[in-house]
Structure 1
Amino acid sequence: MSGEIWNRVLEKLARTGPFREVREGLEGGSVAVHGLRGSLGAFLLAFLVREGKGPRLAIAPEKGAEQLRGDLEVLLGKDMVSYLPPLCLRPGEERLPSLEAVGLRVEALVRLAARRPGVVVVPLGAVAEPTLPPQHMGRYLLRLRVGEEVDMEELMEKLVEGGYERVPMVAAPGQFGVRGGILDVFPFTEGLPVRAEFWGDMVDSLRRFDVSSQRSMEFVDEVLIPPARELVVTEDVWDRLEEEAGRWGLEGLRERASRRAYWEGMEAYLPLVYPERALVLDYLDPGDVVFLEDSERISAEVEEELESLRELGLPLEAFRPSPEEMEDRLNRLRRICHVTFSSHEGEVVRFSSQEPGGFGGDIARARKAVGRWVAEGYRVVVACGHPAQAERVAEALEDEGVEVGVGDLGGGFVFPQGDLVLLTEGEFFRRPFRRSRPPKFQGGTPIPDITALRRGDLVVHEDYGIGRFLGVEGMEVGGVRGDFLIVEYRDGDRLYVPVEQLARVQKYQGLLKIQPPLTKLGGAEWERVKARVKRAARQMAGELLKLYATRMAKPGHAFSPDTPWQAELEFSFPCEETPDQLEAARQIKEDMEQPVPMDRLLCGDVGFGKTEVAIRAAFKAVMDG
């Protein structure tokens, strides 16, 4: 439903003069624009992407880039937007770049290299950072298709050169594992690892699988496997790094490169590794469109980067492009330049937008402003980051003729040329806009059933019962080598459980500190235990159903729906609610409005916002007398 709202807004904006001018201006070259307030710039870019007019790349200061990324994800969908963060790695720093940064960068470069539809958002700090040259990306961008023949040894060699880590069992992006004719690999471009089964040299099947259960999720016909990092380490790379270090008088680096061993922080020397010093701009074809937010800042950003390298005593021309080189690269592209001054020389497409101002949680003030805009002929749309928040805003403004949609947009605007007002949570509440974003790429989460176990711990196998964990051992079965959990049962019998079946084993959790007897393998004892537990569970379920049926039959007090005062109280909280807080408050108030006794427990750790939820419920009760 919310997607339909943003589609309708984009359709309305597409008919406005400034939007048409930008689209037509790109036919002849570059375009300068002025006056894009709030999220209006994201609407312009989303419109152009849908029209097939680009841009391929959107460059903005770091804070603005994060907001632009989030706004475009709302308007275009997350699968159409990539983000290329800076590595923020200086020569001499002994640390690995974060998995999140590496994964996002590889994903963004693959989108550009493969000419996939969508847009890549780049903060200014990443524009001048050297990266893997496009021709090298093409060389190590592997494609597996069902039915095609692939040399397994050559494939594994390229995966290792491309930065993949070989492990017994794949658990995180950037890893691969081989067992007989099966290859598991977790590329950064896939949400799940992929299992390729070979029949000789032919790819027999490809399927995505779940890391924890090892179960297949879906079959695919093709998978793209990019390098796992921008530094592809080959013998030629070592030779060139050693040669370039000697050329620039970096003796410490030359000596280290001669050891032929990767070290943490080596990515900082990317500019010396490849014959061509490539930037993300080199992934664009001449004539591609790039959006520049605050274009005057690019040269200043490059100068700041050069100054920081100068302080380290490094040869600047070896590590970063000059401002002139950056300008040359940009000149071969068509640009949409958002200029900050209306006095900019040359033709400018002017967007007469303004910021709507904030209401600070004052509902009466918000209703008055919205009513005035509606009376003046504006279409008013409110964007909320969570369905519960959208529901609350819709109730507060239900008589004002506004549309409310779910979308975590960064800033509102008033756009007279389109008779449109967009409001966001930032305008409604007494708090600045903050978009929480969990990491997209994370290290492998250890499987609790293994990492929580120590030799001698009791475990329960769902098919064989209680046994004692003796460890993990590698074995070869039927010509295929794999890892097995060893579980000992009564009389010394042993069960060997393949790691692929870990989901069937869990640590024994008893209520009392009494050691239960081990189960006898091959007997009916465990089946009798399971049958007895099932009977007890059914009996308990019946008792609970009877108890709740009795409670539901008794009358309770049905509280009235939320009042305007309730909405005003909730808007006044200074802290941004979490999605769980909003959902808990919504469910509690729904319970309170039912004519039956309420039965709900609110759980949460210290400081997680239980009191704020309770205050809302208490206020609702007080308002009903």
Structure 2
Amino acid sequence: VARRGGIIDFYSWQAEEPLRVELFDDEIESIRAFDIHHQSSVRKLDEAEVIFHLADGDADTGAVRDYLQKGDILVAVAVDVESAQVRITSGASPSGGIEDFSCALLENPLGVFDASDFVMHEVRRQQFEKQVRDWHEAKWRVVIFFHNEAEKERFAEVCDPSIKDAVEPVLGLLYRGFTAPSARLAVLTGAEIFGRHQTVRRVRGSKLDETATLRKARDVLRDLRVGDMVVHMDHGIGRFSEVQMREAGKRKEEVLVIEYADQARLFVPLGQAHLVSRYVGVGGKKPELSKLGDARWQRARKNAERSVEEFAARMLTIAAERQSVQGTAHPADGKWQVEFEESFLYHETPDQLRCVEEIKRDMESEKPMDRLLCADVGFGKTEVAIRAAFKAVMGGRQVAILVPTTVLARQHWQTIRQRMSEFPVTVEMLCRLTPKHREKGILKGITDGSVDIVVGTHRLISKDVRYKDLGLVVVDEEQRFGVKHKEKFKDLFRLVDVLTLSATPIPRTLYLALMGMRDMSTIETPPPNKQAVQTIICPYDERVIRAAVDAELDRGGQVFFLHNRVMSIAKVAAKIRSLCPRARVLVGHGQMDETLLENVM
């Protein structure tokens, strides 16, 4: 059946041509047979008979109940149920088939619903609540298994309050419910209540199961190289040796070979490859190999799990305190703030101005700010952050700007010093590149308050850095910091405003912002005349490299050529020099002497 306004087309299995019925209000104006290909009328009819399509085209092979499975819900939709029933009964001969189509066929009729308001889950819910009341009156115990806490909370929201005391909600995994009449026990699942069922069952040993296992193994092997340190969930840290074939009963299977302390070897079948992952450590220290069968690994795992739980609890406590405590509000904009913002050499975008106002509103509030500023590269995040920093300094507070690299620290330090050069603001940099003789004076200035803004790397959260009156922390490129580094400022200074900058926020940060647990500002429009960034991905081709470098040199610009290995970076630099003889090529990396790296930059 197809309906378009006042026209209804019937494609009945027993008719040679489909029928088109035209309605005027609630009356039939005409009935025509029409050509399905040309959509043109074939002939006009005075009356027509349309038989419902039942299974295999057998219209008289049983009652409606024969086509229903246990638990199915039958919905009869009619504009006028009573008159429709009269017309069906008077126009059909008694055959035990279609004329008996009514709610009387059902053992537990649910009633009649308005078709315009009809939704399937509403019928399911009413049926469920009626059944629970019946069980409760019969002194049955009703237990419902929910897959997760969210499903459990959803049930509490939508179910009738009158049955809440009649059911016992629990968390657990159960595929389907069951009843035990002898024990007067009914066990249900949230999936059954909400109408969500698994459509595919995974059978062990099946092709589906095998494919999933091989996919996991392939993902693990793709990241591993011979000699890489790996972690087995149950046995600890080892060294990946090789993949080899070994006999397992009457068949051969591939296994991962992992070396442990005392030259012990562990053979991990590919079916258990998901238990193995590449070792990712901190601090650059090479880990010791674990001993197979040693209990120290399990103790280390438990300690790590406990540390994570404690850290998460501390984060929650800090967040709760920052929400509840009363901080220090920054004063409203003064004359110097206006002059500083007017000294900006470019035209601000509307998004920039809106973000500045949102941040200022937070800073002038007594509630500590925790705002994410999200914008693409070159859209003006830095200028927005600089205006916030200047506002904090004008209010007599200090500002710490935390960046992930020494190169970025120097860049921000130079930019901020240049922007604030006409105002009495002291800006310093504190990182690995800072000379020792200057570092002592900078630390003293931070402590006595003579340093207004300090830009730096992780050095800013060292124990010897003591702020006199820190009012604002700006975290740039937050995705490159660990959670502990970002939370340490909030822990040490719980009344401090925090502004986070990122073009690509990590999922946790973005999730907190989208959930409203932290505020978010976005700059979506680029500055005027900003050119789009062109990204080209292609195989290594020296002709492409030469052409790109020459084009940039002809423009009077600079080129950054990134290489991922310090060991071979000098060879790459020599290759660039030979390809582009007119270019002056310098090398910089994180393992260089501070003075040399500073000179390169």
**TM, length-normalised to structure 2:** 0.25
**TM, length-normalised to structure 1:** 0.24
